[in-house]
Structure 1
C-alpha cells in the first residue's frame, strides 16, 4: 500500500476539495481530541477552498460496545455539543450523524464484496486490539470489517467528476500514526474501481485483432497467450477469464503504471478507466504532543484527561498531580523540560514569556514543579473558558444542537444518495438495461 501524502490545494478544475473526518461517540471530548483533530477541522472549514464533512460515527461505536449501547445516544449529543463549542460552524461545514444515513451501510456492503479477508486480518490495530483488549469480545465481523465501513464513510462523499474531467480531491485529515487507516481505504476503493469502473475495448475479442491483443498483453506483462488463444466470442468464458487476468495485473502494478505501460505500447485506448469512487488521500495535519496527566496517551479510560467541559477546580486538581521529569526528585534538583508532560502543556496554553520562565526555571531549579503546574493551569483555564462558555449555552438548549445535527444529516444524505445512484448503476447497470429494453421495444 502506498503512503502518498497530498497537500491541501484547490481541487481539479478549480473545484473545492472535499474533506471528511469523524469521531466515535464514546463520551465527552477532551483537550487531546481538540489538538489532535478539532483544531485542524476548524482551520479547514474556515478555508474557502474546502467543502468539509464532519460526522459522529455512532455505528462505529457498536463495533466494540455492541453489548451495551445504552450510552450511545447521550454520548452522541455530548459530542455534538463539543463539536459546536470547539468552533465547528454549520454554515461552513456539514455536521452529521452516521447512522441516519443508510447509504453508508449500503456502500459498506458493496465494498465488502471486493475486500479480501486477508487485508482486514492484517490490519495492525485489529491484531493489537485482539491481543490487548481483554474485557470485551472483539471476535466479530463488525470489528474486523471496521476499515470497510470506514472506507464507505469516506468515499460516499466522493466529488463527482464531469465528463472528461478529473474530480476534485477527497482528503482525510490525520496524524502520521493514522496514515495506514487511510491507506487501506485507498486500496479498497482502487480494487472496487477496477471491478466496476474499468472496461476493455471489444475489438480485443476478435481473431483479426490477435496482434493488437498480443501487443496489449506484452505491454502489461501478461504472458502465456498466443494469437490462436486470443479469440474471445461473445459470451465466451475465455473472455471473462482474460478480463479477470488483466484486472489482476493492473491491480498488481497499479493503475498509473498500467497506463504508462499501455501508452508505451501504443495500446492505451484499449482500456477505459472511469473511477466510480474517488480514491481518498491523506492530509497530514498538525498533531502536537499532549500526553495525559500521568504521561501516557490521553484517554478517558485511563482517567488522565481534561475534558472540554472541565471546571476550574477540577483542572487545578488534575494538573496538580501531573507527572513531571522523573529525574527531578527534589525541589533543588534541576530538571529537563523537554521530557516533562507539564512543559508539553505549557507549549499549547502558555505565552512565550511563561514558556521561557518555565524552561529556565526548570533547568536551573529556580522554580518548583508545583509552581510550574499552577502557572500552566492558569493559562489552560484561560484558554478553555470560551470553549466551556459556548458549551454551557448548548447544554441549556440541547434541542438546538440536535436541530443542527439533523439539518447537517439531511445535507449529507443528499450527497450520499447521489453517490449511491452512480455506484448502483456501475455495479448493476439497471438504467443501461432499461434503456436497451426501451430501445428494442421502439424498433419493433
Structure 2
C-alpha cells in the first residue's frame, strides 16, 4: 500500500518566524516522517499580494531561507520533498479543472481573504486572491495529500479543498483523497506589538534565525499591560502577549506560575518578566540556530533539495492531472477527434 501523503508549505516572502512555528511548523516536524511529505514553496500564491519585479527577484533567496528555516526547525532533508510551485505548470491545469466546481459567493465567504487584501494595502480584491483557495486546493490535491497541517488562517482554505475533492469525486469518480486538516495546539501567536498576529508584513515578528541579541531587543520592546505604569501596580496576565509567549515557549512551568502570581500582585516588574522570556526564547532557538548554521555551511544543499524535489513532484503531478482528465473524459475528446482526422486523411482505396 502506498504511504499516505502530507502537503504543507509557505509563500517565499521572507524568513519563517515563531508564528509559523506554532501555527504549523511544529506539526510538520512531528508528522513529516509518518507521511510521504511534500513542502511547497508557494511563489504563485505570493503573487496575489506581492507581484512587483523586486518581489519576484527576492523570491529565490526567500525560497532558500524557507528551506533552511524548515531544516533548522527539525525537518529531515532525507525524508522531505521541497518544490517550487511555479516550476510545475501542471498545477495550473488542475486549478483550471477545479475553477468550475466552486462558486464566487462560496469563495467570498472565506474570511482570511479580506484580511490578506487589507494587510497588502489592496482597496479591491484581485481575481487571483479570490481564487487563492482554489489554487491551494490544486496544490494539495495535485500530490493527492491526505493530511494538511496549517495555521488558523488557512483552515477555511482547506475546507474548500475538501469540498472540491468531494465534488470532483462525486461527478467523475474517485480520484482524490479528502484531506484532513491537522490543527495546531496554538492556532495563532500575537505579534510583538500586541495588536495583531505575528506577520512579516507588519514587522512584528521574531524570526527563527534571529540572533540572541535581536531576540532580547525585540522582547524588551514587546507590548504588555498598558495600564501598568509601575512595577508595584497589579497587572493583567490574561491577554498579555509576554505571558502568552511564556505559556508557549517557557518549559519552566513553575517559573511561569511564579511570574504570573507576582505580576497580578504587583510584586514583579515587566523587565524581569521580559528578561526571563528572552532567556527562554533563546534557549528554544539555540538548537534551531545551530542546525541552520550546519545546513547553511553545506553549500549547494538547499538548491539541490529544491531542484530534485521539484523534478520529483512534477512527475507525481503529471500523473495526477492525467488521472483527473481521464476521469472527466477530457482525454477521450481529443483522442476521438484525432483518430477521425487521421482516418479522413487516408487515401481512398481504388479498385481496378
Paired position in structure 2 for 1:378: 279
Rg comparison, structure with higher value: 1
1:148 alignment counterpart: 134
Instruction: Tell me which residue corresponds to 1:20.
Output: 7
2:76 matched to 1:89?
yes
Is the 8 Å Cα contact of residues 289 and 344 (structure 1) preserved in structure 2? no
Whether 1:290 and 2:266 are equivalent positions in the alignment is no
- Of 223, 228, 232, which aligns to 1:323? 223
Corresponding residue for 1:360? 261
Partner of 2:96: 109
1:276 and 2:175 matched: yes
Q: Does 1:125 align with 2:112?
A: yes
Name the counterpart of 1:54. Answer: 39
Deviations 1:94-127 (A, max 9, x none): 2222112222111112212333333333433334
Distance 1:432 1:145, change over 3 A: closer
Post-superposition offset of 1:393? 2.9
User: 1:118-143 CA deviation, whole Å, 9 max, x = no partner?
Assistant: 3333433334445x357346543222
Confirm or deny: 8 A CA contact 2:49 2:120 kept in the other structure. Answer: no
Which whole-Å deviations, capped at 9, do the CAs of 1:265-310 have from their partners, x for residues lacking one? xxxxxxxxx2222233322232255321111311122222111111
Q: Secondary structure of 1:19's partner?
A: strand
Q: Describe the shift of the 1:115–1:363 C-alpha distance in structure 2 as closer, same or farther (beyond 3 A).
A: closer
Which runs of 4 or more aligned residues in structure 1 lie more than 6 Å from their structure 2 counterparts after TM superposition?
Answer: none
Question: Separation in 2 of the partners of 1:285 and 1:134?
Answer: 25
Aligned residue runs from structure 1 range 29-428, under 5 A: 29-46=16-33, 48=34, 50-68=35-53, 69-130=56-117, 132-133=118-119, 135-136=121-122, 139-158=125-144, 170-195=146-171, 197=172, 274-287=173-186, 290-296=189-195, 297-350=197-250, 351-428=252-329
How far off its partner does 1:150 sit? Answer: 0.6
Matches of 1:76 and 1:403, distance apart in 2: 12
Distance 2:110 2:293 in 1: 40
Distance in 2, matches of 1:151 and 1:429, equals 20
**1:230-268 Cα distance to aligned partner (Å, 9 max, x none):** xxxxxxxxxxxxxxxxxxxxxxxxxxxxxxxxxxxxxxx
Q: Distance in 2 between matches of 1:79 and 1:134?
A: 21
**C-alpha displacement at 1:345, in angstroms?**
1.3
Is the Cα contact below 8 Å between 1:30 and 1:308 reproduced in 2? yes
Q: Secondary structure at the match of 2:308?
A: helix
8 Å Cα contact 1:64-1:138 kept in structure 2: no
Q: Distance in 2 between matches of 1:122 and 1:360?
A: 42
- Superimposed CA distance per residue, residues 202-257 of structure 1 (whole angstroms, 9 cap, x where no aligned partner): xxxxxxxxxxxxxxxxxxxxxxxxxxxxxxxxxxxxxxxxxxxxxxxxxxxxxxxx
Change (3 A) 1:45 1:138: same
* Equivalent residue pairs, number: 336
Deviations 1:25-50 (A, max 9, x none): 1101111111111111000113x3x2
Over 3 Å counting, the alpha-carbon distance change for 1:316 and 1:430 in structure 2 is closer
Matches of 2:233 and 2:2, distance apart in 1? 58
- Structure-2 change in CA distance of 1:434 and 1:304 (3 Å): closer
Instruction: Name the CA distance, whole Å, in 2 between partners of 1:150 and 1:433.
Output: 28
Query: Are the equivalent residues in 1 in contact too, given 2:152–2:187 (CA < 8 A)?
Result: no
C-alpha spacing 1:42/1:108, structure 2 compared with 1 (3 Å): same
TM superposition score normalised by structure 2: 0.86
CA distance in 1 between partners of 2:75 and 2:143 (Å)? 19
CA drift at 1:176 = 4.8
Asked whether the 8 Å contact 1:151–1:188 carries over to 2, the reply is yes
Residues 434 and 410 (structure 1), Cα distance of their counterparts in 2 relative to 1, 3 Å cut:
same
